[in-house]
Structure 1
Amino acid sequence: MKRRAWLLGTTAGAGALLVGWVAMPQRSRLGLASMMAAGEGDIALNGWIKILPDSRVVLAMPRSEMGQGVHTALPQLAAEELDVPLSRVQIEQAGWDAIYGNVAMLEGNLPFHPLEAEREDGFGRVKAGRWLVCKLARELGLNATGGSSSVADAWDVVRFAAAAARACLVGAASLQWKLPAEDLRVAGGVVSHPSGLSLTYGELARSASATPPGSVVLKDRSQWRVIGQPAPRLDLPGKVNGTARFGLDVRVPGMRFAALRLAPMLGGEPGRIDAQRALAMPGVQRVVTLPAYGGSTAGVAVVADSFWRAQQAAQAVDVDWIRAPSAVDTQQIDASLRDAVVRRDGYRFYERGNVEQPAPAGSRTIEAWYSAPYLAHATLEPMNATARVSDGRVEVWAPTQVPQMCRAAAARVVGVPEDHVDLHVTLLGGGFGRRLEVDYVAQAVRVAMDVPGVPVQLIWPREEDMRHDFYRPMHVARLRAQVSATGEPVALEIKSAGDAISPRWMERGLPSLSGPIDLPDKTASEGLFDQPYGFPRQRMEHVFTHSGVPVGFWRSVGHSHNAFFTESFIDELAEQLQRDPVEFRRLLLKDAPRHRAVLDLAAERAGWGTRPPAPGRALGVALHESFGSVVAQVAEVSIDRGLPRVHRVVCALDCGTVVNPQIVAQQMEGAVIFGLTAALYGRIDIRDGVVQQRNFPDYPMLTLPAAPTVETYIVASERAPAGVGEPGVPPIAPAVANALFALTKQRHRSLPFAL
């Protein structure tokens, strides 16, 4: 009885704290000037904006640049509100305060149907859930670049910070001239008055730092001069002239190089190690045993005076490898996933009506199974990090999407507080989700511990990178539709199976937040439970599995394969019902006008139904929403020497307000190439625990001569910005599959097509 009373008292106290926390206002993300690094002569006006003596603007940059253009788009937001040319805005790495956390990314992980909020009146379940998660995200302050969320997250906070800085500058001039602030104007980094008085931002910055911003008003859309314009990318000159610094470009005086060699089989580890031959080789300094940091496989690393010597020596180390207790095999995993769909209950992500209701007289059921393989990230820049450990402090240079998590991982390895770790984020030579992991940083720090005071650059050879990735999970799905005797859609049931990514990722990188119980992972079913088609009765469920293969976030995550499942199956239904694929989709989108508008634009620009493709070619269409953006693609396909050849892709999208249309077009083009590569060739096979693919010859990329022409058309919108970096990936595989069916009358239900 006493114990029960104690438990009740504890619960009541926790409940009171929770209620009190919820009742508190959301934490401000404006921040204090002290949160920005102090430099000679520069003046910070809040946690995001500094003014230099020559009136240039410095923006704190919490997001990583991996080709998505965020180092240009976010400065555009600041340039707009501060009325300065984009060329006058520069960036510096943000600090570690919670104001720089990515709120939009965590909000995007909520498992709500995208049409629910639009149908919801007042402050209902969806809006309440989003408010609570955003509040929690502000407290956590997780700094991560992912989920196509960088611009969406910065949209309010960066514009408000820049507008607040502008208000401080105008206020300082107003006080100095004793003139009303509303009579002053701002242009080109100068505050002026019609009388001829003027002061530059640099001249006003110090007094502005002591001037409260007062009421902050964002500029009206009609006043925008930078947002919405196709501005050149700020990171482009350095990438052209070679001054841009990626992880592999880091050079520090006295630096040594380390090459990695991991156990050949997933989950293996080194047993007996004989390093005598390797240590006798020229330039070799150390052989270091590496445990399985951050979910990676254990192995060894060799430190030498050049990477070439380190790599040669790593292969000379004689190791008896110990296999994991159970070896995984992709053929067995595929069979177990199909069995799970049939025999196991799944988590129900979405239900509408009752799919168990007896079918109307004369109706029929159409069923199909679809599957997608494991995929590697295959970033052009392999995994690498540079680290130096000296006198209880750690310095790290890393191409990472999660700087906070890397900092924490480095601190754990050395056993020091996080504030003893200095982390420099470089440009990323491709991220795609692979650099949401911390394994390679932890390994670099561990190697550096063996050579105190010496900076060491650890590089993964391509073969290790390919065979020890955190792969996109293998998934299978059974799709079943019921149609009436007159061909009207009645019900849609989708049941899928595959590993969950988020719990495994949290175990690896956020051990303090992860727990022993797997929570339903939205990424497993995204693109299935949240599809927009208006079947009166629907049920979408997923069976979570744990195959033992290391899985991670891959560009567009679950949407990357689930769009292939749903959009191919919608085409199957259209064919079975003898309907045009575009018109059939329009029928199902009666309650989704935004999606229908995007579909119509893509079809019109592709000449669907009005301009027949050239002889030997066919068109295929797909429509998909992900990360808040709706994308439709029409692919024009032929068969070239027995293999699919994609000649043209027409891409239409609604991504909300567009900050830089040129970057949007670039991202759609890159996404099509990325997704098409996976659709045609991508596959990771595992036999007896060993990944069979080793390098690009057996994990091919799309070549330049085979790349299609990509046309991008953007639907005008006044919504807040949505994702751009990933939404172009999901539709390309089903668009090509549907074109192949139109061309050959053979249905592709598994990926890839060309192997």
Structure 2
Amino acid sequence: MNAKSTKPRSGRRRFLLGALGIGGALVVGWGVMPPRSRVGDASIFPEHNGEIALNGWIKITPEGNVVLAMPRVEMGQGIHTALSMLAAEELDIPLSRVSIESSPVERIYGNVVAMGDSSLPLHPDSADKTWARALHWIMAKSAREIGLIITGGSSSTADGWQPVREAAATARAALVQAAAREWNVSAAEVSIREGQLIGPGGKQSTFGGMAKSARGISAPSNVTLKPASQYQLIGKPAPRNDLAAKTDGSARFSIDTRLPGMLYAAVVMCPVFGGKLKTFQSKAALGMPGVRYVVPFEGTAGGAPGVAVVADHYWQARQALATIEPVWDNGPHAKLDSAGIRQQLVSALDSDKGGFTYRSMGDGLKAFDKADGATLVEAEYTAPYLAHTTMEPINCTAQVTQDGVHLWAPTQVATLAQLVAARAAGVSGDKVHIDIPLIGGGFGRRLESDFIGQAVTIATKTDGKPVQVIWSREEDVRHDFYRPQAIARLKARVENGKVTAIASRSAGQSILAGELDRLFGAPSAGIDRYTAEGLFDLPYEIEHEHVAHLAVDLPIPVGFWRSVGHSYNGFFMEGFLNDVAAAAKLDPLAMRRDLLKAHPRELKVLDTAAQAAGWGQPLAPAADGAPRARGIALHPSFGSVVAQVVEVSMKDGKPRVHRVVCAVDCGTVVNPGIVAQQMESAVIFGLTAALYGRIDIKDGQVVQSNFTDCPALKMAEAPVIETHIVPSTAEPSGMGEVGVPPIAPAVAHAVAQLTGKPVRQLPIV
């Protein structure tokens, strides 16, 4: 990606991001003007080797193939294939003839859905209200102006659904018009079949043959997109376009970057949060084979300070790093530990502070003032800090020369990576060029840019030579931006077999506050929907609701983790509902169905999962004779709805998950194969967290260091996973993260039935 023509005006961008952060409506002069077009001008998309750009998204090669601008990064979620399918569908060209090219850093490629749709703490039931539609329109328009290029929030397909199809349809119209002019016929007499322009009397032409003429044709003011009844690709399984390369090993990830004269850097960073580097020894390292430089660095974009050893080979750098003998100033948090962190969260909940109320309906908390014969249920739930532990460790290759900065970086957010790199090198944003290879797992970790600034800082000391910085797994685990630790206290009122009131009071850190501070120095107003999502936006029809969150300031760096607040709030709310059902002697499925009468979409998903899993039918024991139990959970997130039913047995006091039945409504499905893959991925990821995941703090630093004490689910432990897609005509919604939230409460529910004890703390093992 190249930032050559979008040097940001930092004052405006900081203001807009800050405003987005607090969820305020933007009152700006352009608010009443039409939104900026996202199709873009052909001049935005650089042409190579005879290619012809027809707009900002579509180029035609001399051979008549299609090149699609790709602003979203491939981290295993299949987005390169899904967006290519949208372009191929509108252009009536085989998917195999569509390739991708990393897009420039231009505003038309900004992710509107991730910023406009996901930034406000609005309940889905309010979406059709006039004030909500107006606020959404303003936020989406603001997102277009900011143009933040980001892959996250399960938003890539949802965001690309309109602009990619419109760009392809616009290119198609230009090609058809060019052919009509050349053949002296009307455009209605020209069709496209398998990437060939077809005219009357047997006339034919490739896209390549008409591209030059098509470039000179003005784009129509509007185009008609294909109706669903004419889809040839959308909704059908298609092989992923990264499958062959990932199978035969030819796929290139960021860590595979190899450049002429490239050096390698190994780093050690201050292990204590908030600590600093005091002294280090470089003489011994510089005398070792291959070692070129020893570079101290300050933390950037929230990262930790430390020392890098730069050598001809990575192993040389690692070996020399052991001789550095860094001495740290541990700073003010050297005595911080997990018990102290928990006590701060508990103290916040015990205080008379109200926090921020994200939802209040009916009588709110007053509904609990008198029992009046109702069943009252109260419980406390906790979730720990979690690391991302992506398969590809943190790395970045940077080269700093007189011409500027060149990055080969596994970033999920090119716009901010550009900003941080420019700051680190002391250059303007238009001097930063970013190439983004395949990424070996993101899960939100690569939304951060600490490793970007670090690599550029080191590269400023290597005399123009490119340097690849690679973190050890230990540095990766101990210098993450963790999923926040959180505690929630919930209570419910049940009358005549129906939940009539529910309240939640939770405490934890704000992700948004940390992001705004470390990137822009911008304050937060204390409102962060990520802290309460999955609690305030539940779909159940409950007469009285009150959902509040207390933001607690702690020195542990926190960031976005797959499904963000939903990942633990889903456990809190769905786990609590199962506990409520048990206390009130209600069937948890029937209880939920009773609360979803006005939400047919969620009800359909719930019923689909329950029926496919055989809910209510006898369940045979495990192969070793151990009893099995079913657990259930439903959770909407990122515009989609997922229900899961699990089958669990116990062995040596530990749960074994045998089967997971999933139902999902994610709107229009582009590629059902990818939907199933993402559900399977989310279940495995979520099970790892539910069963084993935790980060502990002692003496101001992370205890865990590698997969030995931060384990992942093993293949032998993986359950059978079934995915049932509920048909929908709505626009596509999220898929990459939506399968994570229900798995922990569903497993906890099954374990509680087997042990007779509720599970209210993660991890379960």
Of 599, 617, 623 in structure 2, the residue corresponding to residue 610 of structure 1 is: 617
1:120-199 matches, cutoff 5 A = 120=129, 124-199=130-205
Structure 1 residues 26-74: Cα deviation after superposition (integer angstroms, max 9, x where no partner): 1111100010011121100000000001111000000010000011000
Structure 1 residues 154-183: Cα deviation after superposition (integer angstroms, max 9, x where no partner): 000000000000000001111111211112
Q: Which residues of structure 2 form unaligned runs of 5+? A: 1-25
Of 433, 458, 461 in structure 2, the residue corresponding to residue 422 of structure 1 is: 433
Answer yes or no: is 1:456 the counterpart of 2:467.
Answer: yes
CA shift for structure 1 position 359: 3.3
Of 48, 51, 60 in structure 1, the residue corresponding to residue 60 of structure 2 is: 51
The answer (yes or no) to whether the contact 2:37–2:108 under 8 Å persists in 1 is: yes
The answer (yes or no) to whether the contact 1:534–1:588 under 8 Å persists in 2 is: yes
SS of the equivalent of 2:501 reads strand
Q: In the aligned structure 1, how far is the partner of 2:139 from the partner of 2:174? A: 32
SS of the equivalent of 1:154 reads helix
Bigger mean CA deviation after superposition, 35-44 or 621-630: 35-44
Which residue of 2 is the match for residue 518 of structure 1? 525
Structure 1 residues 506-530: Cα deviation after superposition (integer angstroms, max 9, x where no partner): 2223x1xx52343401000000000
Letter aligned with residue 676 of structure 1: L
Letter aligned with residue 54 of structure 2: L
Answer yes or no: is 1:342 the counterpart of 2:356.
Answer: no
SS of the equivalent of 2:396 reads strand
Aligned-residue CA RMSD (Å): 1.2
The answer (yes or no) to whether the contact 1:284–1:310 under 8 Å persists in 2 is: yes
Letter aligned with residue 390 of structure 1: T
SS of the equivalent of 1:274 reads coil
CA shift for structure 1 position 360: 5.9
CA shift for structure 1 position 397: 0.3
The answer (yes or no) to whether the contact 2:286–2:294 under 8 Å persists in 1 is: yes
Q: In the aligned structure 2, how far is the partner of 1:524 from the partner of 1:661? A: 31
Of 394, 406, 427 in structure 1, the residue corresponding to residue 405 of structure 2 is: 394
Of 63, 69, 75 in structure 1, the residue corresponding to residue 84 of structure 2 is: 75
Q: In the aligned structure 1, how far is the partner of 2:507 from the partner of 2:616? A: 37
The answer (yes or no) to whether the contact 1:613–1:636 under 8 Å persists in 2 is: no
Q: In the aligned structure 2, how far is the partner of 1:246 from the partner of 1:73? A: 20
Q: In the aligned structure 2, how far is the partner of 1:447 from the partner of 1:381? A: 21
Structure 1 residues 519-548: Cα deviation after superposition (integer angstroms, max 9, x where no partner): 401000000000111110001010011111
Q: Which residues of structure 1 form unaligned runs of 5+? A: 1-16
Q: In the aligned structure 2, how far is the partner of 1:376 from the partner of 1:19? A: 39
Q: In the aligned structure 1, how far is the partner of 2:525 from the partner of 2:88? A: 44
Structure 1 residues 470-517: Cα deviation after superposition (integer angstroms, max 9, x where no partner): 000000000011122x333221010101000012112223x1xx5234
What is the number of residues matched between the two proteins? 730
The answer (yes or no) to whether the contact 1:693–1:699 under 8 Å persists in 2 is: yes
Q: In the aligned structure 2, how far is the partner of 1:329 from the partner of 1:594? A: 44
Q: In the aligned structure 2, how far is the partner of 1:243 from the partner of 1:266? A: 39
Q: In the aligned structure 2, how far is the partner of 1:690 from the partner of 1:125? A: 46
Answer yes or no: is 1:741 the counterpart of 2:752.
Answer: yes
The answer (yes or no) to whether the contact 1:388–1:452 under 8 Å persists in 2 is: no
Letter aligned with residue 597 of structure 1: K
SS of the equivalent of 2:579 reads helix
Of 233, 246, 260 in structure 2, the residue corresponding to residue 239 of structure 1 is: 246
Answer yes or no: is 1:490 the counterpart of 2:500.
Answer: yes
Which residue of 1 is the match for residue 658 of structure 2? 647
Structure 1 residues 185-212: Cα deviation after superposition (integer angstroms, max 9, x where no partner): 1111111124211111110000001112
Letter aligned with residue 106 of structure 2: D
Which residue of 1 is the match for residue 8 of structure 2? none
Of 96, 103, 123 in structure 2, the residue corresponding to residue 94 of structure 1 is: 103
The answer (yes or no) to whether the contact 2:263–2:313 under 8 Å persists in 1 is: yes
CA shift for structure 1 position 341: 1.6
Q: In the aligned structure 2, how far is the partner of 1:92 from the partner of 1:359? A: 63
Letter aligned with residue 348 of structure 2: A
The answer (yes or no) to whether the contact 1:392–1:416 under 8 Å persists in 2 is: no
Q: In the aligned structure 2, how far is the partner of 1:283 from the partner of 1:642? A: 52
Bigger mean CA deviation after superposition, 646-655 or 518-527: 518-527
Structure 1 residues 420-473: Cα deviation after superposition (integer angstroms, max 9, x where no partner): 111101111110000001111111111111112211000000000001100000
Which residue of 2 is the match for residue 117 of structure 1? 127
Q: In the aligned structure 2, how far is the partner of 1:80 from the partner of 1:103? A: 22
1:276-287 matches, cutoff 5 A = 276-287=283-294
Which residue of 1 is the match for residue 550 of structure 2? 543
Which residue of 2 is the match for residue 317 of structure 1? 324
Of 29, 35, 38 in structure 1, the residue corresponding to residue 44 of structure 2 is: 35
The answer (yes or no) to whether the contact 1:103–1:134 under 8 Å persists in 2 is: yes
Q: In the aligned structure 1, how far is the partner of 2:672 from the partner of 2:518? A: 37
Q: In the aligned structure 2, how far is the partner of 1:371 from the partner of 1:609? A: 30
CA shift for structure 1 position 184: 1.6
Q: Residues 18 and 335 from structure 1, CA distance in 2 versus in 1: closer, same or farther, beyond 3 angstroms?
A: closer
The answer (yes or no) to whether the contact 1:374–1:473 under 8 Å persists in 2 is: yes
Which residue of 1 is the match for residue 591 of structure 2? 584
Q: In the aligned structure 2, how far is the partner of 1:742 from the partner of 1:405? A: 47
The answer (yes or no) to whether the contact 2:691–2:762 under 8 Å persists in 1 is: yes
Which residue of 2 is the match for residue 564 of structure 1? 571
The answer (yes or no) to whether the contact 1:261–1:315 under 8 Å persists in 2 is: no
Divergent runs of 4+, >3 A? 17-20, 357-360
Letter aligned with residue 443 of structure 1: Q
Q: Residues 562 and 239 from structure 1, CA distance in 2 versus in 1: closer, same or farther, beyond 3 angstroms?
A: same
CA shift for structure 1 position 19: 5.5
CA shift for structure 1 position 408: 1.4
TM-score (structure 1 length as normaliser): 0.95
The answer (yes or no) to whether the contact 1:497–1:544 under 8 Å persists in 2 is: yes
